[in-house]
Amino acid sequence: MTKYNMIIFDGDVVVGKYKTKTNDMNLIFKDCGEEIVRDGFKQGINMETQIDMYKTFIEEINKQKRHCQKIRHSDFYIYLSCVCALYKFNQETDDILFLKCKKKKKKNIINYKCLINILFILFVIC
């Protein structure tokens, strides 16, 4: 299974990086943003108000990131949910980048000190 890193930018600043199993925003929306949108509609909040709330929250997190303040993991998850919800409402999608994760290859690392010691021992024995 191919894994991706979803990187979200605010201008030229990286706000968040999330590991995903797909680069399809609709599937990511189902995982992250669908619940927040559904809860909003259940509470009777219309679409325009929800969009304004999501944009306000995203702007607050972006402001914290620009001022180098710490951002909690739970806030990042809500941030991701808001970005996915805005994507579903066709609002903001310009600052999302998907990068495919590389598989790390195991390298045969030779410990040269051990190799020299083994050769020295073999030389002394012979």
SS3 assignment, position 10: strand
If one counts the domains in the chain, the total is 1
- Say yes or no to pLDDT of 6 above 90: no
Q: What SS3 class is residue 16?
A: strand
Residue 15 CA to residue 29 CA, distance in Å, equals 18
Instruction: Please give the residue range of the domain that contains residue 59.
Output: 4-125
pLDDT band (50, 70, 90) for residue 52: very high
Q: Which pLDDT score, from 0 to 100, does residue 126 have? A: 60
DSSP secondary structure letters along 32-86: HTHHHHHHHHHTT--HHHHHHHHHHHHHHHHHHHHTT----HHHHHHHHHHHHHH
pTM of the model: 0.71
**Residue, of 118 and 94, whose pLDDT is higher:** 118
Structure tokens at 77: 């998850």
DSSP string, 93-120: -TTEEEEEPPPPPPP----HHHHHHHHH
Percent of the chain with pLDDT over 70: 86
Contact assessment for residue 116 and residue 122, using Cβ atoms and an 8 Å cutoff = no
